[in-house]
Chain A
Amino acid sequence: MEFLDTLIVLLQSTIRVSVPLILAALAGLYSERSGVFDIGLEGKMLGGAFAAGAVAAITGSAWLGVLAAIVVAVALALVHGFASITQRGNQIVSGVAINFIAAGATVILGQAWFHQGGRTPPLSGGARFTTIDLPFAAELADVPVVGAIYTNLLSGHYTLTYIAFALVPFTWWVLFRTRFGLRLRAVGENPGAVDTAGISVIWLRYRAVICCGILTGIAGAYLSLAMTAGFVKGMTAGKGFIALAALIFAKWKPVSVMYACLLFGFLDALSIRMQGHRLPLIGEVPVQFMQALPYVLTVVLLAGFIGRAIPPKAGGTPYVKER
């Protein structure tokens, strides 16, 4: 029983840390499937987290915070879109720029507005999200195994957590069962064909980039309104890049994205738990090794040693209409 309890605690923290990864990776999925590479997930998340923290602190409403996060992240996404779709600039360069602008601006503006060293004021009450219990969670708690799983693992998360997991099948449905999704995927593989069919490549890609902004905004809001109570300087701490790694690891497929994020989240949760513990045969595993593991796994995958990650064919290249 003790093993089950430990496992459930571990899985619960896995879910907690996976949510921003899932949201950001799905965001990247929309953008990259449409042929716009996005290494600016990190920056958009950070911008969103700051906007959410700031607006929630001022208005006292967590949902207004989420809205602000979405607005800011979409604005940053549109800058990326303008540079890489309209100006046909280098998408990688633009993504790098977004990351820097967000990293610097959140601290400068935070310091100017709140005078707390780049933080936003700590949130409480309605300004941050609280966990919600699923129906009958308390009643089922005593049922062996099932009760533990239901009450401690499935119940007791934030609303945004359930939204994030619901977005996985929703994204699958949008991409593979709607006209918009078909066109989105087509524009990432062969924009010329989409253009020939009389559909605007540019508008489609802009919509994909906006979807990306919305999701990164929610991911950022989760960080500053649910996971912690307020924005802290540089709080994304590489999560945007782990999400990017997960997206590649999942070969740009929505359901696999969820599993990849859960795997990377699990490694993260495990590394926190294993600190100071010794494993049989191996001894103490350095925590840095566990932190590096998602990146190492992604490189191994990219190297083609476990399957092959083939990006959308038109990814990274701006579309030039024939004249």
Chain B
Amino acid sequence: MSAPHAKLPGWVDYGVIPLVNLVVAFLVAGLVVLLVGESPIRAAALLIEGAFGYGEGIGFTLYYATNFIFTGLAVAIAFHCGLFNIGGEGQAYVAGLGVAIPCLWLDASMPWYVVFVVVIFGSALMGGLWALIPGYLQAKRGSHVVITTIMFNFIASSLMVYLLIDVLKPRGSMSPETRTFAEGGHLPKLDWLFGPLGIDVGGSPLNLSFLLALVVSFIVWVIVWRTRFGYQIRTMGFSPSAARYAGMKEARIVIITMVMSGALAGMMAINPIMGEQHRMQLDFVGGAGFVGIAVALMGRSHPVGIIPAAILFGMLYQGGAEISFEMPQISRDMIVIIQGLVILFAGAMEHMFRPTIARLFTSLGGGRKPQPATATE
């Protein structure tokens, strides 16, 4: 995304301005807390204590963050191509099939690592397929990907409700979910990794898919910044006409990017299904697809920014649950407000404070050379 105003050094552009936007979003959220009659400072203290104060809390924070890394990367890669994929929610939901079906099929006969490999491909395939149609329609028929992905979220929701109630539910069961998987459908937890650090994540559902998320983040970085196709994606996003003049195949780039985006969103399904619940439940995505939008905007669509942004939202989810114990007025829905405010200030109004900061910067004698050492990117 291009900057319409005066040029600023990288660390201001990628460090100071997003930080200011974020702080403003949280200040407004603090006002809401104040309006409800609670102390924002105490809420913040509870939040941090609940998210990082003890081992299990850290485990939960990173468990939620895993979901948001996947969905954040999904939104980000589409952003680089100038596409806005709001369909992460639906793509992840449908991708649940790519996780649940191999698990139901192989869980008793195969060890978890075989199932895991099948599930990675299965979820990416199903998520990718669900994004393929909007991508194809955008590239070939000119229908806007934003609208079609919104529609596909609703279609996915109806489809999955139907499948869970009428097809996948074991006979005689009342709740709309698959049966619980056997041992082969359980991902190992990460106690062995955090134990030596003196952090006991025992009670939390943090599992191997967190490491998968980190690996996938690295792969996304390689694809977007170190391959020919990634260059094409970014060119397309920067200027479709430039891409056209350079002889790049627009339709192909759009379709493949959408499929990759859907595949990334789809892999999110591994974490709750195979990592925590060991079965597929109704509405297991729980809004993570939409959190991905906030995460991608906050992380400036770069894996290095997305991982901390995802952890921040993981912290909000985990710490938010903690707050609602102490302050019954502030339920989980507070996170939805914060999410909206982050999207508003870091996304839609990202340039609001830019002129002020630019003026401040020049008045502080900022004509000097930028210091690359402090660059946050």
Residue pair A241, B150 in contact (C-beta under 8 Å)? yes
Note all chain B residues with C-beta closer than 8 A to A82. Answer: 349
Residue pair A92, B146 in contact (C-beta under 8 Å)? yes
Within the assembled complex, what's the spacing in Å between the Cα atoms of A83 and B331? 28
Interface centre among A90, A91, A289 (most CB of B within 10 A): A90
Within the assembled complex, what's the spacing in Å between the Cα atoms of A112 and B148? 37
Q: Does B215 contact A (CB under 8 A)?
A: no
Within the assembled complex, what's the spacing in Å between the Cα atoms of A104 and B25? 14
A86-126 contact mask (Cβ, 8 Å, vs B): 1 or 0: 01111111101111111111011101100000100000000
Q: Does B143 contact A (CB under 8 A)?
A: yes
Within the assembled complex, what's the spacing in Å between the Cα atoms of A102 and B338? 11
Q: Does B336 contact A (CB under 8 A)?
A: yes
Q: Does B343 contact A (CB under 8 A)?
A: yes
Distance of A44 from chain B, by nearest CB (Å): 13
Note all chain A residues with C-beta closer than 8 A to B144. Answer: 302, 311
23 A-B pairs whose Cβ atoms sit less than 8 Å apart in the complex: A82-B349, A83-B349, A89-B350, A89-B351, A92-B146, A93-B344, A96-B86, A96-B343, A97-B340, A104-B339, A105-B32, A107-B331, A107-B336, A111-B329, A238-B154, A241-B151, A248-B147, A288-B158, A295-B152, A296-B151, A298-B147, A304-B143, A311-B144
Residue pair B154, A87 in contact (C-beta under 8 Å)? no
Beta-carbon contacts under 8 Å, A275-323 to B? 286, 288-289, 291-292, 295-296, 298-299, 302-304, 309, 311
Residue pair B162, A244 in contact (C-beta under 8 Å)? no
Residue of A39, A91, A100 touching B339 (CB-CB under 8 A)? A100
Q: Does B283 contact A (CB under 8 A)?
A: no
Beta-carbon contacts under 8 Å, B121-157 to A? 133, 137, 141-144, 146-148, 150-152, 154-155
B316-348 contact mask (Cβ, 8 Å, vs A): 1 or 0: 000000000000011101111111110110011
Residue pair A92, B337 in contact (C-beta under 8 Å)? no
Q: Does B293 contact A (CB under 8 A)?
A: yes
Note all chain B residues with C-beta closer than 8 A to A105. Answer: 32, 337
The 5 closest A-B pairs by CB, nearest first: A100-B340, A104-B336, A104-B337, A302-B143, A94-B348
Q: Does B313 contact A (CB under 8 A)?
A: no
Residue pair A112, B344 in contact (C-beta under 8 Å)? no
Distance of B147 from chain A, by nearest CB (Å): 6
Q: Does B199 contact A (CB under 8 A)?
A: no
Interface centre among A91, A112, A286 (most CB of B within 10 A): A112
Residue pair B349, A299 in contact (C-beta under 8 Å)? no
Residue of A91, A109, A299 touching B152 (CB-CB under 8 A)? A299
Within the assembled complex, what's the spacing in Å between the Cα atoms of A288 and B333? 27
Residue pair B334, A108 in contact (C-beta under 8 Å)? yes
Q: Does A274 contact B (CB under 8 A)?
A: no
Chain B residues at the A interface, C-beta cutoff of 8 Å = 4, 32, 35-37, 84, 86, 133, 137, 141-144, 146-148, 150-152, 154-155, 158-159, 161-162, 166, 290, 293, 297, 329-331, 333-341, 343-344, 347-352
Q: A112-B36, A292-B159 are in contact. Are A89 and B154 (CB under 8 A)?
A: no
Beta-carbon contacts under 8 Å, A33-90 to B? 39, 79, 82-84, 87-90
Q: Does A245 contact B (CB under 8 A)?
A: yes
Residue pair A112, B37 in contact (C-beta under 8 Å)? yes
Residue pair B333, A94 in contact (C-beta under 8 Å)? no
Beta-carbon contacts under 8 Å, A1-51 to B? 39
Residue pair A244, B347 in contact (C-beta under 8 Å)? no
Residue pair B329, A90 in contact (C-beta under 8 Å)? no
B contact patch SS: helix
Residue pair A97, B147 in contact (C-beta under 8 Å)? no
Chain A residues at the B interface, C-beta cutoff of 8 Å = 39, 79, 82-84, 87-94, 96-105, 107-109, 111-112, 118, 238, 241, 244-245, 248, 286, 288-289, 291-292, 295-296, 298-299, 302-304, 309, 311
Within the assembled complex, what's the spacing in Å between the Cα atoms of A290 and B144? 24
Q: A104-B335, A104-B336, A238-B154 are in contact. Are A288 and B344 (CB under 8 A)?
A: no
| Beyond A89-B349, A108-B32, 6 additional pairs, beta carbon < 8 A | A90-B347, A94-B347, A99-B340, A111-B329, A244-B147, A299-B143
Q: A83-B344, A302-B147 are in contact. Are A96 and B155 (CB under 8 A)?
A: no
Note all chain B residues with C-beta closer than 8 A to A248. Answer: 147
Within the assembled complex, what's the spacing in Å between the Cα atoms of A93 and B330? 26
Within the assembled complex, what's the spacing in Å between the Cα atoms of A299 and B84? 17
Within the assembled complex, what's the spacing in Å between the Cα atoms of A295 and B147? 10
Residue of A91, A94, A108, A244 touching B330 (CB-CB under 8 A)? A108
Note all chain A residues with C-beta closer than 8 A to B341. Answer: 97, 101
Within the assembled complex, what's the spacing in Å between the Cα atoms of A295 and B152? 7
Note all chain B residues with C-beta closer than 8 A to A288. Answer: 158-159, 161-162
**Chain B residue at smallest Cβ distance from A103:** B336
Within the assembled complex, what's the spacing in Å between the Cα atoms of A105 and B333? 8
Within the assembled complex, what's the spacing in Å between the Cα atoms of A91 and B348? 7
